Chain A
Amino acid sequence: MAKTPKPNFIATLQTLVRHNVDFIIVGGVAAAIQGATISTFDLDLVHSRNPENITRLLEALDELEAHYRIPGAESLKPTRSHLESEGHQLLMTRFGQLDLLGIIGSGTGYAELLPDSIEENVAGIKLRILKLAAVIRTKEQTGHDKDKATLALLRRTLEERNKSRK
C-alpha cells in the first residue's frame, strides 16, 4: 500500500507564505485556530485569483509537489486555468491534503471574504483566517450534512469566545 504523506499544516502554510501567496484559511482549520475542538484532515484555503497571485501559487504548489487526489487523476497537476476558476481543487501534497477553493458558501471569493477575515500570528507566520462567525455562516449556506453536524460545536465555540472577551 502506498504511503500517505504525514499531514503538516504548518509546513504547507509556511511554504505558501514564503511564496507570498494571498489566501484565507477557511473551514475546519480556521475554526480550530479560533478554539473549536474540531477534527479535519484537510487544509481548506480560498486563494486570490488575480494573475500575479496565481503565478506565485503555482510556484508554491510545485514546491509542495501538489497533484489531484481524485482516483485516476493522481498524475494531474493543477494548472493556471484550474486555479483561475471558481471550482474546488482537491489536492494531495508532500504535507497532506490541500483544498484550494475558488469560491465558498453562496459564491463568495477571496475579495468578498477579506472583510470577514482576521490576521493571526501562528507558528511565527502571519496568516489570514476567516472569522469564526463567517465560518459558521458559510457552513449554514452550504447546507451539507457534514457541515450541519459541526454547527452546534462551532456556535458554542463562538459564544464561549465572546464570553471570554467580556
Chain B
Amino acid sequence: MSEKDPEATVQMPAGRSDEPVFSEDGVDLTLIRWMLSLTPTERLEVLQEHIWSIMRLRGEDTET
C-alpha cells in the first residue's frame, strides 16, 4: 500500500438535512457516515494512514 497525498481533500458524502449530526451521547455521526461510504479496504487504509500520521506528529523514528 502506498501513502496517499497528505494534501488530498476528503470527499464527505452529502448528508440529508433531516439527519442529526451528533448522537445524543455526543458521537459525530457525519464521520461514521463517511467511513461507511468507503469500502472495507479503504477503511483499513484510513486507519493505517491515521496511525502513520500520529507517529509522524510524535516524531517517532520508523523503519519503512
Contacts and interface: CB of A to CB of B under 8 A. Distances in A.
Interface of A: 1, 3-11, 28-29, 32-41, 94, 120-124, 152-153, 156-157, 160-161, 164
Given A39-B47, A124-B41, 6 more contacts: A4-B60, A8-B48, A10-B1, A11-B1, A36-B35, A156-B32
15 contacts: A6-B52, A6-B55, A6-B63, A8-B1, A32-B44, A32-B46, A36-B32, A39-B54, A122-B40, A122-B41, A123-B41, A152-B27, A156-B25, A156-B32, A161-B36
Contacts, number: 93
A44 to B, nearest CB: 13
A14 B43 CA distance: 17
B36 A32 contact: no
A150 to B, nearest CB: 10
Contacts of B1: 8, 10-11, 123
Interface of A is mostly: mixed
Interface of B is mostly: helix
